[in-house]
Amino acid sequence: VDNLRHLSEKVSLPEVSAALLNEAARICEVHLEDPDRAMQIYEDVMEQDADNLQCITALNRLYCKKKLFRPLIKILTRRAARTAGRKKARILYSVARIHHERLSEINEAIDTLEEAHQADPESSLIIGELVRLCQLVGQYEKLSQYYDKQIKLSGDKKESAAICLRLGQLYEENLR
Residue-level pLDDT at 66: 94
DSSP state of 34: -
Q: Are 91 and 80 in contact (CB under 8 A)?
A: yes
Residue 34 has pLDDT above 90, yes or no: yes
| Segments in the chain forming alpha helices (H) | 2-10, 14-26, 35-48, 53-65, 69-81, 85-97, 106-119, 124-137, 140-153, 157-174
Q: What is the DSSP string of 79-123?
A: HHHT--HHHHHHHHHHHHHIIIIIT--HHHHHHHHHHHHHH-TT-
- Distance (Å, rounded) from C-alpha 10 to C-alpha 4? 10
The 10s digit of each residue's pLDDT in 58-78 is 999 999 999 999 999 999 998
Q: What is the pTM of this model?
A: 0.84
Residue 47 has pLDDT above 90, yes or no: no
Residue-level pLDDT at 51: 81
What pLDDT band is residue 79 in, cutting at 50, 70 and 90?
confident
Residue-level pLDDT at 11: 86
Residue-level pLDDT at 112: 98
Amino acid symbol at 79: R
